[in-house]
Amino acid sequence: MKNFRFKGFIPLLMAAVLALTSVSLSAQTTNAETVTDRIATDFEDGTAQGWYGRGSVETLTAVAAAAHSGTYGLQITGRTQGWHGPQLDVTSIMETGKTYTISAWLRLPAGAAESSVSMTVQRTTNGVNSYEFVQSATVTDGGWVAITGQYQLLYPAQKLVVYFESANPTLKFYMDDFVIQRNPEPEPIKIQNDIPSLKDVFAGDFKLGTALLVNEISNPNGPDAQLLKKHFNSLTAGNELKWDATEPRNGEFNFTRADQIFQFTMNNGIAFRGHTLIWHSQTPDWVFHDANGGLVSKEVLFERMKKHIDTVVGRYKGKIYAWDVVNEVIEPADGKPGGLRSSLWYQIAGEEFIEKAFVYAHEADPAAKLFINDYNTDQPWKRQFLHDLIKRLQNKGVPVDGIGHQMHIGIQSPSVLDIDTTINAFKDLGIEQQITELDMSVYTNDTDKYDAFPLDLQKKQAARYREIFNVFRKHKDEITAVIFWGKDDQNTWLRTFPIVRNNWPLLFDERLQAKYAYWALVPRTTAVRGTPVIDGSIDPIWNGSNSFMTDRWVAGTSGASANVRTLWDDGRLYVLAEVTDSLLSKRSANAWEQDSVEIYVDPNNGKTSVYEPGDGQYRVNFDNEQSVNSSTLGENLVSATTKTTNGYIVEASIAWPDAAPQPGNVIGFDVQVNNDQDGDGDRDSVAIWNDTSGVSYLNTSGYGMLKLE
C-alpha cells in the first residue's frame, strides 16, 4: 500500500477570509516566541513584508500592477526552478494540533500562459524537513484567482514556512492579500458509546480491524483511541513497522513509534497485525546499494533482509498475530516472468527474494501467520498471477499462510460478483484470506471534487458496503479478518491520492460519528422471549425488551418516527411501536400514504432481491386498519392501536409462516413509519430503522437483522 498519509482538506469560502481585518506583518514580527491567531500581508507599505525567495535568486517587489486590493501587491520574478518562489516564516502563528485556513489571491502578468501554482507548508521537525501540500490553483492573466486550503499542524515543529511554487520554472506571477487564520475550536468530539461495536457485530464471522498512525493514540483516552477500542479487535500500524520507519539506516533500528502502537494493543486486548516487511516502496536506498552506489549482490541483500526481519519480527515474537511479509509484488506491466514487479528486490534476486522473506519471517516467529498482500486482486490477470505465485511457493514448501486482498475500491467498481469470484479463486490453495486495506472512494475518476458529501452518494456507499459485506460473510470460512485502511474520513490517504480532494471512504465521519455506511453493516437488535396481550396498551412484559428508533429517512428529513420494541415466542413475533406524530391523517385512499406503521419480516434472513414465500410486509394505520403483502399472509397479523397525546401506539403480532424458530436464529426485519405531515393526503416523510432503499416492499436485501434470544 502507498504511504499511509492523513491530512484533511476542506475548502472554505474566500469571502469569509477576506472579511477578516487585514494586519500587516513585517519581517521583524515573524518571531517564533509570540504565537498569534492570525497573520495577513497586503504589501500596502510598499515592502515585501517578510516574504523572501526560496532559491535566493527570486526578486520580490511590491508593485501597483500586483494589487488585488489597495495600492500594492507582490510581484515575483527571477525564478529559474520549479521550487523557487516566495516564502514566509509562519512559525509564530502555528500551534501543534490546531488547524488553520491559509489563503491568497494570485494572477499572472499580461500575456503569460496559464499555469498551476501550489501552496505548500515546509515543516521542520527534529531537523527533518517535510513538505505538506495545502492547495493548488490554475492561474491566468485574465483575472485574480483565490487559492485557499486547510492546514493542520500534527507534529511539533521548530520551523514552519508557507511558500508558493510552480512546475513552470520561469513563471512570473502576482500575489496579494495573503491570510493565515487559526480556525475556531470545534465542539469537543465525543464518540457514540450507545451504538453496537463493530467487533461484536462480526464476532461470529471474522476479526474486524483498522489501520492507524501513532498520532491517533497520542492521547490513549481521547476520542480517537476510544473509537479504536470500542469497534476494532485488530489493529495494523499504517507506517510504523515499514522498513524506513524501523531501520532508516543500516543497523540503526528505531521502534519508538511502533512500540507505542504495540503497547496500546496490549493494554486494550486488541490483536496486532504487522505491515509490512518487504515492499518496493518505503524501503531505504541503502538496502539495495553498496558504498559506491551500485546494486549489492544477492547474498548481501539476503543478509540485510534476514537481519532486518530477525530484528523486527523477533521483537514482537508471539505478539503480532499476522504479518504482510511481501507487499505488491505482482505488476504484469513490468513484463517479468510470472507477472512479477521489476523492483530492486527482483532485479537483484529474482523471485527468490519472496521465498527468502517468508522463510526468514517463519524462522523469526513460527507462530505468526504470514501473508502475501496485494491490490487489484479482483482483476483476473493479476489474480491468476498471484494464485500461480502462491502455488509455486507452496510446492517449494515456503510457509505462506494467507493472501491479503487490499480492497481499495470505488463507489462503482469492482462489482460484487468480481469480489466474490476473487475469494473463490484462492479457495483451492487452502490458505487464509484477509481483506487488509478496505476503503471505498466516493469518486469514479481522478478529477471530480466535492465540497460536501452528497446524500445520494452517502446512501449509495452504504448500500454498496452492505452488498460487499454480504459477500465477506458468505466466505467467512475463508476470510479471517476484514481490516479498514483508516478508521474515519479525516484519517484517510484518499484525501491526498490520487489528487488532493475531499473523500469520505470509511464508516465514521471526520468527527468520528457513524455514517450511513456504518448503519448498513450493523442493523442488528435482539428480541427476548415473551408473550404480550395485543390490546394497544403497554404491558409490563415489554419492559424487558430492547428498543430502537426508526431514525433513518427514506423520504423527507424529519417527521413522524417510532420507538420500537420486539418480543417473540414459538408461535409469533411481537412488535410494539410508539409513534410520535403531531397530526394523524388517513386522508389518502392509498394505504401507504396514511399515517401508519409497516413491519417487514424475512423469516430466513435470505436478503433476496425479490420476496420469497413467507416474506411479508404488514401495515397498520393509527385506526388499526390493516394491509398485508402478500395477501396470503393476511391471517398471520393481529394488531391493536391506541391514540396518545403525541401520536399513537401500534401493537402487533405476526405468526411465523413456517416452523417455530430456535433461540439464536436471526431473521430479516425492519420497521417503517409513514407520515402525512400536513393532512393533505400526500405522504411527506418515511422513517425506517434500517433499509433506506425505498423498495422494502419488493426487496429484503436491505432489512436489518433481529436475533431471537
Which residues are identified as catalytic?
A: 328, 374, 437
**DSSP-assigned letter for residue 570:** S
149 sits in which H/E element: strand 145-152
What are the residue ranges of helices labelled H in 39-167?
none
Pairwise CA distance, residues 11 & 147, whole Å: 9
80 contacts 73 by C-beta, under 8 angstroms = no
C-alpha cell, 479 = 476470510
CA atoms of 2 and 497, how far apart (whole Å): 9
Strands (E), 253-341: 271-279, 320-327
Helix (H, G, I), strand (E, B) or coil at 470: helix
Q: What radius of gyration do the chain's Cα atoms show?
A: 30
Cell readout for 372 is 502475501
Q: Where would I find the beta strands (DSSP E) of 411-560?
A: 432-441, 479-484, 524-529, 547-549, 552-555
Residues facing residue 578 across a β-bridge: 563, 649
Helical ranges in 379-415 per DSSP H? 380-395
**Cα–Cα distance between 449 and 503 in angstroms, integer?**
8
Residue 579 CB burial class (10 angstroms; 0-12, 13-18, ≥19): buried
Q: Which residues contact 364 (CB under 8 A, 6 or more apart)?
A: 309, 310, 313, 314, 317
